[in-house]
């Protein structure tokens, strides 16, 4: 009888700890779904190395959004990403979206270079101009002549 009471107490304690861990993970993880105050845009790339759901989206060096979806276009064999941006930020339709890194060994992020157009991308619109990630290894091979 005494053993059953001890097992019940230990089981309850383990369940409480497990619940706290799940609660902590759920409240501290970044939301990967677009919020109602965000607008989504699409972009195509031939190389998105280092980009994944949750990667930062920057404009003029400041974080303005994130990547919410990454998938492969099976007809064009290109990588498609969906970006969520604060709806207050209007993006000129001739803007360029670039995958870049924080330095030689830094993590990759998506950057928007605004264009000069007076017309803006419509919600759920697609960027016309994009530039994929640079592969440092292939760049070094080209420089060395290999």
pLDDT single digits (tens) 10-69: 889 999 999 888 877 766 555 555 567 888 899 998 888 888 888 888 888 888 888 898
Could you give the CA distance from residue 143 to residue 14 in angstroms, rounded to a whole number?
Answer: 58
Are 104 and 128 contained in the same domain?
yes
Are 57 and 124 contained in the same domain?
yes
Are 64 and 95 contained in the same domain?
yes
pLDDT given at position 136: 65
Domain range for 97 = 38-142
Are 47 and 9 contained in the same domain?
no
Q: Minimal CA–CA distance to 53: which of 109, 125, 128, 134?
A: 109
Q: Minimal CA–CA distance to 70: which of 60, 82, 62, 78?
A: 82
Are 54 and 1 contained in the same domain?
no
Q: What angle do CA 80, 26, 37 make, to 5 degrees?
A: 55
Number of domains observed in the structure of the chain: 2
Are 62 and 105 contained in the same domain?
yes
Structure tokens at 90: 């209007």
Are 118 and 137 contained in the same domain?
yes
Cα distances (angstroms) measured from residue 82 to each of 16, 32, 45 = 38, 11, 11
Are 21 and 74 contained in the same domain?
no
pLDDT given at position 47: 81
Around 120, how many Cα atoms within 13 Å sit in the side-chain half-sphere? 10
Q: Minimal CA–CA distance to 108: which of 48, 68, 60?
A: 48
pLDDT given at position 81: 92
- Residue-wise pLDDT tens digits, 71-128: 988 888 888 999 999 888 888 988 899 888 776 667 788 888 888 888 898 888 888 8
Are 89 and 53 contained in the same domain?
yes
pLDDT given at position 17: 92
Assess contact for 95 and 129: CB atoms under 8 A.
Answer: yes
Are 115 and 50 contained in the same domain?
yes
Does the CA dihedral 47-92-37-58 come out positive or negative?
positive
Are 56 and 4 contained in the same domain?
no
Q: How confident is the model at residue 137 (pLDDT cuts 50, 70, 90)?
A: low
- DSSP state string for 81-116: EEEEEETT---BTT-EEEEEESSSSSPEEEEEE---
Are 20 and 49 contained in the same domain?
no
Percent with pLDDT over 90 in the chain: 9
pLDDT given at position 22: 82
């Amino acid at each position: 009888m005494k053993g059953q009471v001890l097992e019940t107490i230990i089981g309850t304690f383990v369940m409480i700890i497990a619940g706290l861990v799940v609660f902590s993970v759920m409240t501290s993880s970044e939301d990967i779904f677009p919020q109602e105050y965000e607008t989504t845009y699409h972009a195509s790339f031939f190389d998105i190395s280092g980009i994944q759901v949750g990667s930062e989206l920057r404009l003029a060096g400041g974080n303005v959004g994130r990547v919410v979806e990454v998938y492969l276009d099976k007809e064009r064999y290109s990588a498609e990403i969906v970006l969520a941006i604060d709806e207050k930020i209007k993006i000129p339709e001739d803007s360029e979206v670039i995958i870049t890194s924080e330095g030689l060994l830094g993590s990759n992020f998506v950057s928007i270079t605004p264009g000069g157009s007076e017309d803006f991308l419509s919600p759920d619109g697609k960027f016309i101009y994009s530039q994929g990630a640079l592969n440092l290894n292939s760049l070094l091979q080209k420089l060395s002549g290999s």
